[in-house]
Amino acid sequence: MKEHSCGIGLRFEHIDRILKEQPNIPWLEVLSDNYLNPNSVQQDYLLSIAELYPLSLHGVGMSIGSVDPFNEDYFSLLKALIDRVNPERVSDHLCWTAVHGMVTHDLIPLPYTDETIRYVAGRIREAQERLEREIVIENVSSYLQYKQSAMTEWEFFTAVVEEADCGLLLDVNNIYVSAMNHNFDPLDYLHAIPTKRVRQIHLAGYEDRGTHLLDTHGNHVTEPVWDLYAHAAKQVGNIPTLIEWDNDVPELEILLAEADKAGSIQLEHTA
Amino acid sequence: MNTPPESLKQLQTHFSEAVFSDQRGLIAESVMQQGELSAEQRVGIYRNSVHGILWQYLASLYPVCNQLVGEKFFEGFSDLFIDQHPPGTPFLADYGDGFSAFMREHDAFAKIRWINQVAELEWARHQAWHDTNQLVTDFSLLATLTEEQQLSAQFQLPDSMQILHSPYAIHQVWLAHQPEDYAGKIPLEEIQLQQDDYIIVWRSERQLQQVQINEQQWQFLSAVRQNKSLAELSEQFQEPVGVLLASAIQHGWIISFRNY
Amino acid sequence: MSNSKILATAAITSVLALGLTAASGVMAADEKVEMEKCAGIVKAEMNDCGANGHACAGMAKTDGDAKEWVKLPKGTCEKLVGGVVLEG
Could you report the per-residue pLDDT of A178-206, keeping only the tens digit for each? Answer: 999 999 999 999 999 999 999 999 999 99
* C56, B160, A75, B52: CA torsion to nearest 10: 20
Within 10 Å of residue B23's Cβ, how many Cβ atoms?
14
| Out of C38, C45, C75, closest to residue B73 by CB | C75
Fold of A6-270: TIM Barrel (3.20.20)
Greatest Cα-to-Cα distance within chain B, rounded to the nearest angstrom: 83
The SS3 of residue B29 is coil
**What residue ranges do the domains of chain A occupy?**
6-270
Q: Rounded CA gap, B40 and A181, in Å?
A: 15
Say what the pLDDT of residue B26 is: 97
HSE, side-chain direction, 13 A CA sphere, residue A4: 22
Q: Which of A174, A220, B49, A215 is nearest to C59 (CA)?
A: B49
String of b and e for B176-206 (b: at least 16 CB within 10 Å)?
A: bbeeeeeeeeeebeebebeeebbbbbbbbeb
ipTM rounded to 2 decimals: 0.96
Say what the pLDDT of residue C29 is: 46
**What's the mean per-residue pLDDT of chain B?**
94
pLDDT-derived band at A156, boundaries 50, 70, 90: very high
A14 contacts chain C (CB < 8 A): no
Q: Which of residues 79-98 of B touch A (CB under 8 A)?
A: 86-93
Containing H/E element for B258?
A: strand B256-258
Query: C25 — alpha (psi -120 to 50), left (phi > 0) or beta?
Result: left
The side-by-side arrangement of strands in the sheet containing B197-204 is B162-166, B197-204, B207-213
Q: Where are the beta strands (DSSP E) in chain A?
A: 6-9, 28-31, 55-58, 89-93, 96-99, 102-108, 136-138, 167-171, 198-204, 207-208, 213-214, 241-244
Going by DSSP bridges, is the β-strand pair A213-214/A207-208 parallel, antiparallel, or unpaired? Answer: antiparallel
pLDDT-derived band at B59, boundaries 50, 70, 90: very high
B131 chain-A contacts, CB cut-off 8 A: 40
B202 contacts chain A (CB < 8 A): no
| Out of C21, C39, C43, closest to residue B138 by CB | C21
Read off the pLDDT of residues A33-82 as tens digits, 9 standing for 90 and up. 999 999 888 899 999 999 999 999 999 999 999 999 999 999 999 999 99
Q: Which of residues 156-195 of A touch C (CB under 8 A)?
A: none
pLDDT-derived band at B184, boundaries 50, 70, 90: confident
Q: Rounded CA gap, B260 and A196, in Å?
A: 63
Is-contact C20 B140, C-beta < 8 A?
A: yes
Tell me whether residues C55 and A247 touch, CB distance under 8 A.
Answer: yes
Say what the pLDDT of residue C51 is: 60
Containing H/E element for B154?
A: strand B154-156
Average pLDDT over residues B191-206: 92
Average pLDDT over residues B47-76: 94
CA–chain centroid gap for B214, Å, is: 21
Tell me whether residues B113 and C22 touch, CB distance under 8 A.
Answer: no
Cβ–Cβ pairs < 8 A, chains B and C: 228
HSE, side-chain direction, 13 A CA sphere, residue A115: 10
Is-contact A2 A263, C-beta < 8 A?
A: no
Our CA angle for C52, C56, C61, nearest 5°, is 85
| Out of C21, C23, C73, closest to residue B70 by CB | C73
Q: Which of B39, B5, B55 is nearest to A106 (CA)?
A: B55
